[in-house]
Amino acid sequence: MTDSSKLQIAIIGAGIAGLGAAIALKHHPAIDVQVYEKASELREIGASIALGPNGMRTLDRLGVQNALDDEVAFRNKSRYPMIYRHWKTNEIVSTDSHAGEVEYRHLTSRFYRAHLQEALAKHIDPSKIHLSKSFQSVAFDAATKKLIITFTDGTTATADIILGADGIHSPVRTFFVPTSSTAWTGWVAFRSVFPISHVAHIKDLPDEANHFWGPDRTFFVSKLGRDLFTVVGSYQADPNAPDAPYKDSTWNSDGNVDTIREFYKDWSPLVRQIVDAVPHTRVYPNSAAHPLETWVLGNGKVTLAGDAAHAHGGAFAAGGSLALDDAWAFASSILHVFPVDAKKKPTEAEIQKALRIYERTRKPHTDRVMRVVHENNLKKIAQYSEGKKLESDEQLRARIKNRADPSWIHEHDVQAAFAQAVAAEAAGRGASNEQARL
């Protein structure tokens, strides 16, 4: 039951961002949070998802300690977030490192996405999550000053604030910004998650997360929690080529293991043994969008989080952590204008202020992520597109070693960004001040 005497916040989407935001707001006695999810159940679809120290710290701050547990979060013993190996020789060519001090429980971790979603959902009263509720539209009722949300089943719900956390193709985003769109980046991943028993017999099976790089494709392997193992084979096609393979396939569609066996037939015997043991695979063609002009929508009562706000196509395996940091920043901005001991609900102007602070906290960072993603995609397309001569072994090794350091993404300090945004708002500075610092 919704409670209109409280500040009503409707979260659309029970993914990582939506659940994170609901957890971050749940202790406020005068906030009523309801989560509306399109799916009929929080199903076990998806494969592996990574969280960097930023996402792990945010989970910790939200009190989601069950997700930090070794039972579901797999961390490299070596503490390297990622190990890069040569496709033919298996030798380690390079490693990523954490830039700052990182405690064990905040080390970069890999999850089976369903485990992470389940760990988050455990912190929310199930009566607050409404399944089979697919957002369709929203209207403003001038008499009550409430937003009226309509779902595709014809039912409605009221809210003072809407957080659109409804993923990459966000119907909330397209309702308010009809010109926004996502497009296939040309990057295709074959993802598989299966019991580790399928590959346990393989001598020299990597027991850490490893990324093998070849001249035109990559191969990622990692253990996951609860004795699972993941394999992600991926390659870059030219999305503009009319005959690009998988151009028309849909995200999370059935894949063919024979295709990936063919893909890696010239790779090292270790990689081939792993690929031969993969029992099934699914295809994920990735899409990305360009940054929105603003996240303050619907007359200052609606905003977005996670992929809905900044569909970046999964690059840097950053989507989960970005979503959690959004969730924390959104909740912190609301609590800034409406602290737990506040005597009355925030005014419309105060709600707008909260959404501005949220935008100032997150948008400069996620815009920068998206800019880098699009630049990198263009480089990859130029490098891999049909007819290009593949690079030499020397060039490949140099590319692995000279890749950009991603720690500014994985160790981004959302608390510091929030403090700066609050100070900038208090000083009446324009959002361009933050942008200019990038």
Ligand X SMILES: Cc1cc2nc3c(=O)[nH]c(=O)nc-3n(C[C@H](O)[C@H](O)[C@H](O)COP(=O)(O)OP(=O)(O)OC[C@H]3O[C@@H](n4cnc5c(N)ncnc54)[C@H](O)[C@@H]3O)c2cc1C
Residues that bind ligand X (CB under 6 A): 12-18, 36-39, 45-49, 113, 134-135, 165-167, 171, 191, 306-308, 314, 319-320, 323
Give whichever of 86 and 217 is closer to ligand X, judged by the CB atom: 217
DSSP state, residue 95: E
User: Measured from the CB of residue 55, what is the shortest distance to ligand X in angstroms?
Assistant: 9
Q: Is the CA virtual torsion 416, 422, 427, 432 positive or negative?
A: positive
User: Measured from the CB of residue 34, what is the shortest distance to ligand X in angstroms?
Assistant: 12
Q: Is the CA virtual torsion 3, 6, 8, 9 positive or negative?
A: negative
Are 308 and 402 a contacting pair, CB within 8 Å?
no
Give whichever of 32 and 37 is closer to ligand X, judged by the CB atom: 37
Report the run of H or E that residue 219 belongs to, with start and end: strand 217-224
Give whichever of 20 and 206 is closer to ligand X, judged by the CB atom: 20
- What is the rounded end-to-end Cα distance, in angstroms, of the chain? 44
Backbone dihedral angles phi then psi of residue 289, each to the nearest 5 degrees: -120, 175
User: Measured from the CB of residue 67, what is the shortest distance to ligand X in angstroms?
Assistant: 13
d(CA 72, CA 115): 6
**Longest Cα pair distance anywhere in the chain, in angstroms?**
70
Q: Which residue from 281, 279, 303 is spatially nearest to 354, judged by alpha carbons?
A: 303
User: Measured from the CB of residue 226, what is the shortest distance to ligand X in angstroms?
Assistant: 16
Q: Which residue from 246, 227, 228, 226 is spatially nearest to 238, judged by alpha carbons?
A: 246
Give whichever of 271 and 318 is closer to ligand X, judged by the CB atom: 318
User: Measured from the CB of residue 342, what is the shortest distance to ligand X in angstroms?
Assistant: 28
Give whichever of 134 and 385 is closer to ligand X, judged by the CB atom: 134
Which tokens hold the place of 424? 């900038």
Give whichever of 30 and 131 is closer to ligand X, judged by the CB atom: 131
Give whichever of 93 and 107 is closer to ligand X, judged by the CB atom: 107
Give whichever of 156 and 433 is closer to ligand X, judged by the CB atom: 156
* Positions of E strands within 243-397: 253-254, 282-289, 302-304
Alpha helices by DSSP H, listed for 99-157, are 113-121
Are 219 and 268 a contacting pair, CB within 8 Å?
no
Task: Describe the crossing of helices 414-426 and 348-384 by its angle, rounded to 10 degrees.
Answer: 130
- Burial class of residue 153 (count of CB atoms within 10 Å of its CB; 0-12, 13-18, 19+): exposed
User: Measured from the CB of residue 309, what is the shortest distance to ligand X in angstroms?
Assistant: 8
User: Measured from the CB of residue 360, what is the shortest distance to ligand X in angstroms?
Assistant: 20
User: Measured from the CB of residue 11, what is the shortest distance to ligand X in angstroms?
Assistant: 9
